[in-house]
Structure 1
Amino acid sequence: MADMELVPVRTRILTDNDNIVDIIEKYAKGNVGPNDVISVAESVVAITQGRMTRPEDLKPGLLARVMCRFVPQKGSLSSAYGMQAAMNMEGEWRFFFAMVVGTLAKFVGKNGVFYELAGEQAALIDDVTGTMPPFDKHIVFGPLDPVGVAEQIKQRLGCFGATVADVNDLKRSRIVGTSSGLNPDLLAKILIDNPFGNASQKTPIVIIKNYAQAQAKALG
């Protein structure tokens, strides 16, 4: 049985004028087989969808300026601008309710409640410097319909599957969307060391070679 391998795919700088499926076909098609899975960074998918804004276009309100103080400094919601951008997408009072309940939940030892209640954008939004140049001065939202994007990639490339992943260098690996038949937990473990390079590396696509065999073995 062939060993599983992670193969980063180098591209040019991608913008909102690009279609992510077309880009993957152009740069990765020659190295993709029927047992492989194509993974792509969620922030890059969002950028190609135009899902971003500049901080200077936002006016953080009192609620955003106060609530951002309760978020750890490494989080994208720790700035008033990142907080306001996410609140604009999910609703200010939804965020406020989630923050209150989440804070109370921590007192009884339960973490992550805020992100469960605040909505998808609370976890997916990238504040400035959180994504690739030249968009490192932008706040980037989560992508639209990541499951649909993954299915389109799978159909176009003829691979075993595709996934849109939110991975960083802090050992946080979250699968945002996959094509049918894939195991999100296994994918998150495979991508935990963040093989993507969204900065000068320009490798927002990673082919997981021989994933089909690895999944079959993991599932017994």
Structure 2
Amino acid sequence: MAELQLIPVQTRILTHRDDIADAIVAYAGDIIGPEDIVCVAESVVAITQGHFTRPEDLKPTWQARLISRFIPPEGSMASIYGMQAAMELDGKWKVLGAFIIGAIAKVFRKSGVFYQLARQASLTDDVTGTMPPFDKHIVYGPKDPDKVAEHIVQRTGSYGAVVADVNDLKRAAVLGKSRGMDPKRIARILIDNPFGNDDQMTPIVIIKNFASVSKKA
């Protein structure tokens, strides 16, 4: 009887010179079957897209300096450079407005509103948030993650593919998915974070036997 298996796939360091689908085929093509889901870490997708910047290339605004003071220190947005990076894409006034609305929402005990409205604030990884040598860079969220997932399916022949944002704090989210994928279900499967973006260099995870297990369920 087939069971779900999560298989982390080790790669070399992937850079902006790589195509993520080519890398998946090169390192995992021989283990991906038509009943499997290919999962790839969002930060690595963004890196292969060249979607990152260096802190020294940013000029923090007063808005970034103000808002970052109110972010818990473990968050990427606690850094004025991380906050400024998000503002470069979302706009400083949009991010400031999202912060004000989020603060009001907290009065009514509704959390997470700031990150819902300022999407780049939730997707951007500050320095040390990704694997070397990109731990000296600020990495944005991936561009067109649904399109990336569809491209991976076409290249690998897998049942499905997702671009996922998962950490060791039991937080998992699917940012991009191929057609037919249930993002909440996939996020639950990945909740224990099988990825390894540091020394492990396992930014790809294969969920084996997903289709057959789903049919039996």
CA distance in 1: counterparts of 2:179 and 2:80, whole angstroms: 38
Report SS of the residue matched to 2:29: helix
Residue 215 (structure 1) shift: 3.3
- RMSD of aligned Cα (Å): 0.9
Residue 74 (structure 1) shift: 1.1
CA distance in 2: counterparts of 1:135 and 1:8, whole angstroms: 21
Aligned to 1:199: 198
Normalising to structure 2: TM-score of the pair? Answer: 0.98
Report SS of the residue matched to 1:39: strand
Instruction: Determine whether 1:167 maps to 2:173.
Output: no
| Aligned amino acid, residue 64 of structure 1 | A
CA distance in 2: counterparts of 1:168 and 1:181, whole angstroms: 24
| Aligned amino acid, residue 158 of structure 2 | C
Aligned to 1:76: 76
| Aligned amino acid, residue 199 of structure 2 | S
Aligned to 1:213: 212
Aligned residues: 217
Aligned to 2:65: 65
Equivalence map 1:85-104=2 (5 Å): 85-104=85-104
CA distance in 2: counterparts of 1:32 and 1:70, whole angstroms: 44
Aligned to 2:6: 6
Unpaired segments ≥5 residues, structure 1: none
Seq. identity, %: 61
Q: Give a deviation string over 1:57-96, Cα, whole Å, max 9, x none.
A: 1111111011001111111101000000001110111011
CA distance in 1: counterparts of 2:191 and 2:136, whole angstroms: 26
CA distance in 2: counterparts of 1:7 and 1:178, whole angstroms: 19
Residue 116 (structure 1) shift: 1.6
Residue 112 (structure 1) shift: 1.1
Aligned to 2:150: 151
Report SS of the residue matched to 1:59: coil
Normalising to structure 1: TM-score of the pair? Answer: 0.96
| Aligned amino acid, residue 142 of structure 2 | P
